[in-house]
Structure 1
Amino acid sequence: MKISKLAIDIGHNVQFDGGAVGIRSENELNYEVGTKLIEKCRAEGLNVINCTPKSATSLYDSLNQRVKAANNNNADFFISIHHNLCTGGHGSEILCIPGGRAEEAAKIILTEIAKLGFTNRGVKARNDLFVLKNTNMSAILIECAFCDSPVDMNNYNPESMAEAIFKGICKAFELNVSEDNRSTEQANYYIVVRGDTLYSIAKRYGTTVEKIASLNNIANADIIYEGQKIKVK
């Protein structure tokens, strides 16, 4: 089940199409996981179409732009990144139109996510979702976790989630990736996302602002930028 062109949609994140708000904002989580996933796929030579619109005039326009980006670029598979909201719920699930390629890939990817410790809520049939029923290619919508769940959000790591989804993609679509090289790279570097500070990054990796600044020749610890690759070890 090989592919050469993958469509990735970072859910919501545009006017008229905002995400859920819980302990953390779904928009923020979708953005962090989605951008990291796109970066990982492109780093391995996969042609990725980012289907996230830059602006929209309505909810329909937002959803339609995502579908058109995938269809017009003849993508082989479509993945939409989301986070759930439901008081009392926790865990990860993947939504798709059942049968065939979508369901097969969903099961493989969800297995990788569950290895992070999230409850596996299963692959669920959703024939009604706009982005699933209007894409020409097989499509899945990943509900990574519940953004209002203390169980899920405690120590939630967008990097780990993106890596788990990426591993699932590699297994589902038979991409040849050196696990040893990726493990070393993942352990030593971090890609800055919106809202990060050197303090938050240092805290996440059990190090200090001073050490990270020294490793990366950062003169002003208050200035880092989105997309910056930072050595943490």
Structure 2
Amino acid sequence: MSKINTIAIDFGHNVNFDIGAVGIRKEDELNKLVGETLIEKFRGAGINVVNCTPSNATSLYDSLNQRCIVANNSNADFFISIHHNAGGGEGAEVLCYDSGIAEEVGNIILSQLANIGIKDRGVKIRRDLFIINRTRMKAILVECAFVDSELDMSNYDYNKVSGAIFQGVCNKFGIGVNSDGIDNINTNSNGSEIGEVYHTVVNGESLSRMSNRYDVSMQRLVDMNDIKDKNLIFVGQKIRIK
């Protein structure tokens, strides 16, 4: 597999009968934050994304089965399930059904997560997990960090975590967007940034979210882009952030 057109994303748990771990932070909350931001990044890079997270379930089996059905009917090229661990450890690990492409992607993702300070616990082959067993495409389950670890949670940044996962997939499949999903960056001859930096709006984004993501005030975004109504931006609109 040298290229992907469609990727399936699953926010682990996040539904009745299937609730995640609770520690310093709630797993459901972090799974959703990382998953939503990851979807934005892939869509901003021109990759079709299918969200496989169900809105409700009648049992744990139903929750897991719904995710697999959506993924298997989507013609997705790759599947990522976002989770967070608990149980007294620290760091991130990636679970996959067998070696090969999924294991390679997992190792690259863990390397990217290590770059932002999250310990690399390695890729582990797990053939007993419903999600990565029942999905037809290559699949990984990413345990991003431990919700009950003071070390992992003290500096936890869901945008950096999703950026690391995104960059790992991009590196493997040659998707030409940098780790923040920013486009139109001008550089000089030695590679340092010059000039203006823009972000292309994708579905579901707001100026408030961009303000938090890029650490720039909403008023500055409004002023730089001559925005008349801060509550009205459009998909495909290029917003100057620097």
- Report the TM-score, using the length of structure 1 for normalisation: 0.80
- The answer for the alignment partner of 1:4 in structure 2 is 5
Aligned CA RMSD, in angstroms, stands at: 3.5
- Counterpart check, 1:14 vs 2:15: yes
- The answer for the alignment partner of 1:113 in structure 2 is 113
On the 8 A contact 1:14/1:55 being kept in 2, the answer is yes
CA shift digits 1:58-117 (9 cap, x unpaired): 100000000000111121111100000012x10010001121221121111211111111
- The answer for the alignment partner of 1:131 in structure 2 is 131
For 1:32 and 1:188, the matched residues in 2 are separated by 23
On the 8 A contact 2:20/2:26 being kept in 1, the answer is yes
On the 8 A contact 1:109/1:172 being kept in 2, the answer is no
**Which consecutive aligned stretches of 4+ in structure 1 deviate over 4 angstroms post-superposition?**
183-189, 207-220, 230-233
For 1:123 and 1:135, the matched residues in 2 are separated by 18
Q: Secondary structure, in 3 states, of the residue corresponding to 2:144?
A: strand
- Counterpart check, 1:179 vs 2:185: no
For 1:172 and 1:180, the matched residues in 2 are separated by 13
- The answer for the alignment partner of 1:92 in structure 2 is 92
- Unaligned runs of 5+ residues in structure 2 are 186-196, 202-207, 232-238
Between stretches 74-83 and 29-38, larger displacement belongs to: 74-83
Relative to total residues, which structure has the larger helix share, 1 or 2?
1
Query: What letter matches 1:72 in structure 2?
Result: N
On the 8 A contact 2:94/2:122 being kept in 1, the answer is yes
- Unaligned runs of 5+ residues in structure 1 are 192-197, 224-229
For 1:50 and 1:25, the matched residues in 2 are separated by 20
- Counterpart check, 1:166 vs 2:166: yes
For 2:179 and 2:153, the matched residues in 1 are separated by 28
For 1:188 and 1:29, the matched residues in 2 are separated by 27
CA shift digits 1:186-210 (9 cap, x unpaired): 9987x9xxxxxx7xx77x94x7788
Between stretches 110-119 and 52-61, larger displacement belongs to: 110-119
- The 1:213–1:147 alpha-carbon spacing in structure 2 relative to 1, beyond 3 Å, is farther
CA shift digits 1:13-54 (9 cap, x unpaired): 111111000100000000000000011101111111110001
For 1:66 and 1:28, the matched residues in 2 are separated by 18
Give the drift of 1:172: 1.4
On the 8 A contact 2:144/2:161 being kept in 1, the answer is yes
Count matched residues: 223
Q: Percent identity?
A: 50
For 1:28 and 1:180, the matched residues in 2 are separated by 22
Query: What letter matches 2:159 in structure 1?
Result: E
- The answer for the alignment partner of 2:150 in structure 1 is 150
Query: What letter matches 1:110 in structure 2?
Result: L
- The answer for the alignment partner of 1:53 in structure 2 is 54
Q: Secondary structure, in 3 states, of the residue corresponding to 1:179?
A: coil
- Report the TM-score, using the length of structure 2 for normalisation: 0.77
For 1:26 and 1:50, the matched residues in 2 are separated by 18
Mapping of residues 211-222 of structure 1, within 5 Å = none
CA shift digits 1:137-176 (9 cap, x unpaired): 111000000011110011211111111111011011121x
- Counterpart check, 1:31 vs 2:48: no
